[in-house]
Amino acid sequence: MKFPVLRFGLLLLALAGCAAAQDTDYRPERQQIPTPACLVMRGAWEGGSQACSQNEHDEWLADITHWRNERRIRIGYDGSRYDLPALKWTQSSFFQPQMMVQDRYFYDPVQHKYTVDRYVDDVEKRYGGIDAVLIWPTYPNMGIDNRNQHDLIRSMPGGIPGVKQMIADFHRRGVRVLFPMMMWDQGTRDNGIPWTQAIAELMAEIGADGINGDTQDGVPLAYSVAADKTGHPLAFEPEGGPSDEALAWNVMTWGQYSYPFVPMVDKYKWLEPRHMVNISDRWNRNKTNNLQFAFFNGVGWESWESIWGIWNGITPRDGEATRRVATIERAVAPFLVSAGWEPHAPMLRDGVYSSRWPLGQQTVWTIVNRNEYDVPGRQIELPAQSGMRYFDLYHGVELQPEAGRAGKIVLSFPLEAHGFGALLASPASPDAGIQSLMAKMKEMTSTPLSSYSHEWKVLTQQIVPIAATKPPSGAPAGMVKIPAAKFLFHVQGIEIEGFNDIGVDVQYPWEDTPRRFHEQQLDLKAFWIDKYPVTNAQFKKFMDATHYDPVDKLNFLRDWKDGAFPSGWDNKPVTWVSQEDARAYAAWAGKRLPHEWEWQYAAQGADGRLYPWGNEWNAAAVPVPDKGRTMRGPDAVDAHPQGASPFGVMDLVGNVWQWTEEFTDEHTRGGILRGGSYYQPQGSIWYFPQAYRNDQHGKLLLTSPSLDRSGGLGFRCVQDAE
């Protein structure tokens, strides 16, 4: 009885193998289709390499074309969404940065206004401009309180009216705007309506053009349907590769590629040539692979420099290469959606690869030189066609064909090491657009890429000075004196990403670069520090005395009503105050915010203890964590006497975060927070992490008071003793 069953099982396996073989000999590897086997370079011990024959190329192309046709049938592909006028922009949206809202080129906190023109002018100057921008107001700050991802958009400077005008400013510059959605955000405030509806309605309200699906392998169809119902269709762009079926409604995708020497073919672009891919390779400091694979595939690149506030800037060489690739792609965009795309069109030279893009009687080739050396001379052999003219679009000159083998012509032109090329074959003179492109490229390429620096440099930071105060005449009420000391300041940042790369976290005055781990022996002068964080009652006295009225009022004292804090909250720490608000209070009181090392010494003393009370965690020394979605509010500042430090300073850990230093670089501001808070949103590792230990700090990326204020963040003050 077992033998027939075994035979039947073997038959099924054989049929499955036949089905797989029938599908394709070049099964996609995640998002990329393998190249012809003959293109793979082999060492002498493997038999060496030789050029692909025309038959080998044709067989590979026929195989992947058959696979494409069969896949479309299997998934019932309907590409009608790509015909929507509202989404046509995606098909030429080649360059798109992920931009943190904290970018100082994007918003000026002194003048309290968005500076869209400054931002766009900067990227145009450095690498040729952008077609779209992914504006990121959420991670890594989200989770410091219970504002969800949509609340954070509403908390951006100017609120919804300000955001609408900012988007209009980008549109005026020809730049489309996307925002992210994080379906992992299930621990903060509940929207009260389905996510599909919430996203569609908010994006329609502010006039955004698309959504990036953070950590998503495809954005479900329901989101496109919900957006369509509002009359405001959105382009959905998942981070990961969607299913083949979802290609019908995910009109954009990030490209998460591997980079062998021979460029691979993007699966989604091959299935639907109108699909736009923005290659994302954020941590890589050399963008050559990104740009060459994008140019080969006729797609774009996520020009992501601020990675959660960690600056990975584009080098001058990569910036100039980007400018050239972008200039060509924008000019020939109609070709790059050609249904007749032929990847790996035959070239004559080893290490040089091209894609052929026919459109009507004209054809464009996008070419990359993967070699580390220049490749001049004969590059491509084509059938001779009477009256056909050939143009080197990259160098902006017309080419004179040479006679080749029987019935063929050869085109010669130079290719730089790790460089680019582009050709146009046309039976007539190029139109005005192509002529303009050639003039631009001729001027650009008069300077070789090799003359631009390819050296990557870290972006250095500066600490914002804190002015000394006048010492008190006696012992100030409610403060504890901390004696002068030699203090070993040892602390590390708790950023979720970045590992120990240079540029992560902050750069103290004694350091030459930002880094995650810090240690320095410091000579501390004596100072006074508030025994408790500043309370609502104390802040109310400040408000009554000064009538303080911040320019940016959004979210200021958000939990107060009509100028009064909630009943029974007099001895709770004041929250929903920005660093600017805290500084204003401190100046009124004749005090200042603490340096971080002062805060840490007051909490740690001289024995290096991990917590103010000792080296073991004591749950009774801190508030009970709030793991819900509504935030109950902090405990009274004197509710946990077991949390006292060696000096008797109280409520340092686990109630509310506390403001200390501010660091800046050319693009980002960051506030250093100490002590952690009682609020612990659940369900994701991506929420703002806690720093309860004395040797840890949090870094809150700063934009504007409206966005920086938080229900989990307060402050305490210090005063110089001498």
Residue 623 lies in a domain: yes
The CATH number that applies at residue 708 is 3.90.1580.10
**Rounded CA separation 303/289 (Å):** 13
DSSP collapsed to 3 states, 105-141: CCEECCCCEECHHHHHHHHHHHHCCCCEEEEECCCCC
Locate 385 and state its tokens: 């066609």
Q: Which pLDDT belongs to residue 514?
A: 98
Residue 526 lies in a domain: yes
**Rounded CA separation 120/124 (Å):** 6
Residue 254 lies in a domain: no
Mean confidence (pLDDT) of the chain: 95
The β-bridge relationship of strands 98-100 and 132-136 is parallel
Q: Which domain holds residue 606?
A: 462-720
Residue 557 lies in a domain: yes
Q: Are 199 and 219 in contact (CB under 8 A)?
A: no
Residue 8 lies in a domain: no
Q: Are 602 and 529 in contact (CB under 8 A)?
A: yes
Q: Which pLDDT belongs to residue 8?
A: 43
Amino acid sitting at position 8? F
Least confident of 48-52, 208-212, 465-469: 48-52
Kindly state the percentage of the chain with pLDDT values over 90. Answer: 93
Residues whose CB is less than 8 angstroms from the CB of residue 177 and which lie 6 or more positions away in sequence, other chains included: 132, 133, 135, 167, 170, 171, 207, 208, 209, 210
Mean pLDDT, residues 414-443 taken together: 97
> pLDDT per residue over 489-525, tens digit each?
999 999 999 999 999 999 999 999 999 999 999 999 9
Residue 244 lies in a domain: no
Confidence of residue 283 (pLDDT cuts 50, 70, 90): very high
Residue 661 lies in a domain: yes
> pLDDT per residue over 354-386, tens digit each?
999 999 999 999 999 999 999 999 999 999 999
Residue 55 lies in a domain: no
Q: How many CB atoms lie within 10 A of CB 628?
A: 14
**Rounded CA separation 570/561 (Å):** 14
> pLDDT per residue over 701-713, tens digit each?
999 999 999 999 9
Q: Indicate if the pLDDT at residue 3 is higher than 50.
A: no
> pLDDT per residue over 110-158, tens digit each?
999 999 999 999 999 999 999 999 999 999 999 999 999 999 999 999 9
The β-bridge relationship of strands 397-399 and 378-383 is unpaired
Q: Indicate if the pLDDT at residue 432 is higher than 80.
A: yes
The number of distinct structural domains making up the chain is 1
**Rounded CA separation 131/90 (Å):** 9
